[in-house]
Amino acid sequence: MTASEALRMGVVGVGVIGRAHVRRIASREAATTLVAVADQNPEAAQTLAAEYGVEAADSVEALLGREDLDAVVIAVPSGLHAELAVAALRAGKHVLLEKPIEVTTARSDEILAAEAASGKTLTVVSQRRFAPANQFIRQLIADGKLGRITSATVEVALWRTQEYYDTGAWRGTWALDGGGALMNQGVHLVDLALWLLGDVEEVYAHTGLLAHENIEVEDTVTITARLRSGALLTFLATTAAYGKLPIRVNIMGDDGSIVTESEQITHFDTREEIPVPDLPEADQQLAQLQDFVTAVREQTTPLVTSEQARAAVAFINAVYESGRTGKPVQPAAVQVPA
């Protein structure tokens, strides 16, 4: 593939998230071409394909078998990610995989092994890394402008109606959703916290199902964690907070602190006078798609790697184990066959 060639892409899963991917792939800014779509609901795939003037594959296997396809987006329930991502990699396709990478570390490791064997590029949707405010914070920490990071707090306080869970049979199940407020909604901020702060040594958690019914998983979780750096993290994720509360991130060090609400800087104070930058608006999902295209074209590492995405799942699995046992838990290390 040359720099002038558009990446030829397909999409597996044409629900709300899959359709959002289709819109961006078909946009002028993406340097991609939409070739075909597939879904377990043939009518949904055919309707969307007709809207964009592309083909609807008869099956996922038919889509992956196309020689005019370089890469696929996989946007299906989380518990099906390993099956489809491994099949896509074995078919010689690059993969942009919706979050989380999978619902268990064991199945995440299957994807890592298939990726290594294929030589293809795989990235996992974690678009919050592409927010200008978060990239500014990452650079601040790397440059030591906040000093030693001592603590951080993350609040993902959202509201999801009972109808949200009732309208999808897979929602709120361990098998296909992999968890509740933390695995489905909070995973983006778990990834962001690990990207900014580094590896976690141990977690301790309480989980509860407090405002919903007929689901297997939590709608509220509180976490305390000790990072390998020695810093301490507190984390709240809930879908039981009525109203529109901002997602809030506080990072505190012995030379400075910074707070964002909905990825806008609301507090910034350092010993060294540093002005608050004028940060542009950004389409984070488009930025990640462009990063994926660049990684494929130039054979470089995408900003979000499969191993990093797996670390977020290890964190979340450890949280759920702690919630069940009432004990502190260490996230599981990567186990990829040689």
- The pLDDT score that the predictor gives to residue 338 is 47
- The pLDDT score that the predictor gives to residue 336 is 53
Structure pTM? 0.95
| Token output for 170 | 């897979």
Q: Are 62 and 11 in contact (CB under 8 A)?
A: no
Residue 140: which H helix or E strand, with range? helix 132-142
Residue 141 CB: number of other CB atoms within 10 A?
Answer: 20
Tell me which amino acid residue 319 is. V
Angstrom distance (rounded) from CA 141 to CA 220:
30
Write out the E strands in the chain.
7-12, 32-38, 55-56, 71-74, 94-97, 122-124, 149-157, 200-208, 220-227, 232-238, 248-253, 256-261, 264-270
How far is residue 115 from each of residues 90, 92, 165, measured CA to CA in Å? 8, 10, 32
Q: What is the set of domains in the chain, with CATH numbers?
A: 7-127+286-304 (3.40.50.720), 129-281+314-325 (3.30.360.10)
Q: Are 134 and 265 in contact (CB under 8 A)?
A: no
Which residues of the chain are modeled with pLDDT < 50?
A: 1, 3, 338
Q: Are 39 and 74 in contact (CB under 8 A)?
A: no
Query: Which residue is associated with the tokens 């976490």?
Result: 223
How do strand 256-261 and strand 149-157 relate by DSSP bridges?
unpaired
Query: What does the pLDDT look like over 249-294, one tens digit per residue?
Result: 999 999 999 999 999 999 999 999 999 889 999 999 999 999 999 9
Query: What does the pLDDT look like over 77-102, one tens digit per residue?
Result: 999 999 999 999 999 999 999 999 99
Max intra-chain CA distance, the chain: 61
Angstrom distance (rounded) from CA 287 to CA 285:
5
Angle between helices 105-118 and 306-325 (to 10 degrees): 170
What residues form DSSP beta bridges with 71?
Answer: 9, 94
